[in-house]
Structure 1
Amino acid sequence: MSKKPGGKSNPLAAAERADRNRKILIQVGVAIVLVGLIAAIGIGIAVKNAKKNDLGATPSIAATASQLANGATATIADNGAVRIGKPDAKVTVRVIADLQCPACKGFETANAQAIKDAVDNGTAIVEYNILAFLDRFSTTKYSSRAANAAYCVATADPSKYLEWLTTMFDQQPPEGSAGLTDDRLIEIAKSVGLPDSVGQCIKDNSYSKYIEAKTKDVLTSGVQSTPTIFVNGKQLSGQDLALPSGQFKPDAMAAIIAAAAK
């Protein structure tokens, strides 16, 4: 300790040391607060991103359930599509649809059998992206509930999936209505041979977060309407599929798939 001559302490030096120590403590305190604030911000961002990227329950088709007729298999593609067909098929047909969409019903009525035939004979794999574009046109988010039912059916028994889709479009409710009830969705699933377990999946709306995320992904990719159809990655035009009247050409997909397979 610094002292005046005679051994007495130097009050000025002591005051300087106290002031210096106080500044150091203040600086340390500020640093601790800043570190804590940065950590809190980082944790907040991480939690927000985790919630944003949380897909909830993710549908999958068990290997034991994926074998269909004639060597076809079923999987859930990365884009969320239910993928059905022989792995070595020359043609991939991707159908982006909403089960509440009247034009999608028109496309299916005209082409469902042609697509099924191509899958059954090994020419094509079909990928159905059943998503929720039209929730605003029902009072019960029917598009989302129907898309959820699509995953419930695919994961329960993919061999019934194409038949179920046809039945669902046959019973499509009008836009602006409440849509089909969950009980009716369950009845339709059971009518094509799905097990009772599919009912709980439909009632729980098990895949709602996944559907929301995949719908956003498809919209972000540039798809703005349904149905949107791709064959081997190329988007089909209205001229490919529709008559001048606007109605879908019956079995137009049969010729398109045959040409793509050559």
Structure 2
Amino acid sequence: MSNRPSGKNPLAAAEAADKKRKIAIQVGVAAVLVALVAAIGIGLAVKKSDSDTESTATSAAQLPATGGAVTPTGSVVIGNPDAKVKVRVVADLQCPACKKFETANGRALAEAAANGTASVEYQIISFLDKASTNQYSSRAANASFCVAKSDTTKYQSWLQAMFEQQPAEGGAGTSNEGLIKVATDVGYTDPAVATCINDKPYNNDIQRFTQATLQSGVESTPSVYINGQLNQTDAIFTENGLASVIADAAK
């Protein structure tokens, strides 16, 4: 006959219950930590997304909105055409040096046009189709006409955005859908702009204007003229380098 007492051991039962409580507490703490980490991660992701969106929007809209006109020869003139200083920029949107120029002096030109110090004439030509596999140069030049004829007040912001997403030489340039997105992102929401970019109605005009520009003596892009004089100084590739050039010309 066994000497073991009948029923459960009170001490063992207490230890088992205590162990269960500890496990429950640990599981609960772990769940809270996981939820907290997830919440922090989501918060950071949302914050980054908002920051990226804000950065993109700021980048696309940071230049002054200044009106202008499209000339019969295909140039886009921003600012007062009677301003004392007249800046002319000849560029190809596929040209890496033109991107470097825009990065350095896009804001200086926008501010000069906005405050009336200078008018800025942009002559977008197309001779670098050979630098892409899908005629990006001429399609981008056509898009320049499309947006400028729709609304010149956003043209410099559009130009800035175009250079920011400039494709590398030798590969496929941005599709028409991509060009439409760039235009839409800076505020060209009129469906006519998208239709214009897809249909390329200015293609023949662009080829004619490009040929005439090259025959006039323009040998490279960017070519930057201040009151008719070609500027070949380091100012065109120096950050805000043209600001002092324009200020001196305005005296």
Q: Do both share a fold (TM > 0.5)?
A: yes
Shift of residue 133, structure 1, vs aligned partner: 1.6
Shift of residue 76, structure 1, vs aligned partner: 2.0
The number of residue pairs the alignment matches comes to 187
CA–CA distance in 1 between the matches of 2:133 and 2:212? 24
Contact preservation (8 Å) 1:93, 1:232: yes
Q: How does 1:159-174 map to 2 (within 5 A)?
A: 159-174=153-168
SS at match of 1:197: helix
Question: Normalised by the size of structure 2, how large is the TM-score?
Answer: 0.72
Contact preservation (8 Å) 1:164, 1:188: yes
Corresponding residue number in structure 2 for 1:213: 208
Corresponding residue number in structure 2 for 1:255: 244
Shift of residue 154, structure 1, vs aligned partner: 0.2
Identity within the alignment, %? 51
More helix by share: 2
Shift of residue 78, structure 1, vs aligned partner: 4.2
CA–CA distance in 1 between the matches of 2:199 and 2:72? 23
Greater than 6 Å deviation, 4+ residue runs: none
**What are structure 1's unaligned runs of at least 5 residues?**
1-68, 243-247
Q: Which of 181, 184, 190 is equivalent to 1:190?
A: 184
Please tell me whether residue 117 in structure 1 is matched to residue 111 in structure 2.
yes
Corresponding residue number in structure 1 for 2:217: 222
Q: How does 1:10-25 map to 2 (within 5 A)?
A: none
**What are structure 2's unaligned runs of at least 5 residues?**
1-63
Q: Which of 146, 152, 157 is equivalent to 1:158?
A: 152
Shift of residue 84, structure 1, vs aligned partner: 1.1
Contact preservation (8 Å) 1:96, 1:226: yes
One-letter code aligned to 1:207: Y
Shift of residue 178, structure 1, vs aligned partner: 1.3
Corresponding residue number in structure 2 for 1:145: 139
CA–CA distance in 2 between the matches of 1:167 and 1:207? 21
Q: Map Cα deviations across residues 24-63 of structure 1 (whole Å, 9 max, x no partner).
A: xxxxxxxxxxxxxxxxxxxxxxxxxxxxxxxxxxxxxxxx
Corresponding residue number in structure 1 for 2:194: 199
CA–CA distance in 1 between the matches of 2:145 and 2:165? 18
SS at match of 1:93: strand
CA–CA distance in 1 between the matches of 2:185 and 2:77? 22
Shift of residue 88, structure 1, vs aligned partner: 2.7
Contact preservation (8 Å) 1:190, 1:196: no
CA–CA distance in 2 between the matches of 1:88 and 1:210? 26
Shift of residue 73, structure 1, vs aligned partner: 4.4
CA–CA distance in 2 between the matches of 1:87 and 1:94? 12
CA–CA distance in 2 between the matches of 1:104 and 1:86? 24
SS at match of 1:127: strand
Contact preservation (8 Å) 1:73, 1:87: no
Corresponding residue number in structure 2 for 1:12: none
Report the RMSD for the aligned CA atoms in angstroms.
1.5
